[in-house]
Structure 1
Amino acid sequence: MNLGQLAEQQAQDYLCAQGLTPVATNVRYPFGELDLVMRQGGCWVFVEVKYRSSSRFGGALTALSAAQIRRIRAAASHFLQLQGINAPCRFDLVAIDAGAVEWLQNAF
């Protein structure tokens, strides 16, 4: 397992401890990827996981670009359409810097 996969597993474990339910991981489409798809009650939660071993270059919280956000939104929309889901959703960010986990709900 590489560092990215370990970070995604750590993020999923953290979110499960907060009461979210995992649905899917690493959902890939030609135009974008979803790291984690989870549910919190009736809300679908699309989670981007960012890991940095050091915050020297801004850390995980600053590692999400506008282009990445567009790709994640497109992938989430496609996922919802394919699954026939018409429910509230949100986009969260889990930032892991040197082992510290920070969860931003409605990050974008």
Structure 2
Amino acid sequence: MADSRRWGSTRSRSTGSEGSTTATGTAGEDRALAHLRRHGLTLVERNYRVARGPSRRAGEVDLIMRDRDGTLVFVEVRSRAAASHGGAAGSVTGVKQRRVIYAAQHYLMRLSALPPCRFDVVSIEGDTLEWLVAAFDAG
């Protein structure tokens, strides 16, 4: 991952076992959103989906945020109970990156002017949250 500056790490109580991947993902996104807001980003859109994308699967951006300097930030949130199998950040593979980039490009087509953009990852493993700024590039 390119230029993965680390912006804060937090520990809080575990969200528990919701019993479903969707519930776990939503809880992780909620936690990531709260963390990013505390650092001055504002929510633009959540769970932006594109019906068709690379490999015939939909592209999705978990969170689209605006940073204080006007940068549009496309955020992939990955939650894992533990760091096994490469951990949460390691699960953002090239295929996943391409799907996020595809959805981001689709989103940007709606805008009249292109702002500066970046792709961040929020990795949650158990009680630890890590924000990787500029985790990957579109190029």
Same fold (TM over 0.5): yes
Q: Which has the higher contact order (CA 8 A, sep 6+)?
A: 2
The alignment's TM-score, normalised by the length of structure 1, stands at 0.95
Structure whose alpha-carbon radius of gyration is higher: 2
Residue identity in the other structure for 1:19 = G
Compute the displacement of 1:82 (Å): 1.4
Deviates more, 1:68-77 or 1:79-88: 79-88
Q: Which runs of 5+ in 2 are unaligned?
A: 1-21, 54-58
Whether 2:65 is the aligned partner of 1:38: answer yes
| Structure 1: runs of 5 or more not aligned | none
Counterpart residue identity of residue 77, structure 1: Q
Query: Structure 1 81/61 Cα, relative in aligned 2: closer, same or farther at 3 Å?
Result: same
Q: Does 1:24 align with 2:45?
A: yes
Amino acid at match of 1:38: M
TM-score (norm: length of structure 2) = 0.75
Determine helix, strand or coil for the equivalent of 1:11. helix
Moved over 3 A (4+): none
Q: 2:76 aligned with 1:48, yes or no?
A: yes
Match of 1:93 in 2: 121
2:25 corresponds to which residue? 4
Q: What amino acid maps onto 1:29 in structure 2? A: V
Match for residue 100 of structure 2? 72
Q: Per-residue deviation at 1:83?
A: 2.9
Deviations 1:22-79 (A, max 9, x none): 1110011022001000000210000000000011222101101111111111110110
Q: Give the drift of 1:84.
A: 2.7
| Count of matched residue pairs | 108
The secondary structure found in structure 2 opposite 1:107 is strand
Code of the aligned partner of 1:39? R
Q: Name whichever of 98-107 and 53-62 sits farther off.
A: 53-62
Check if 1:58 corresponds to 2:86.
Answer: yes
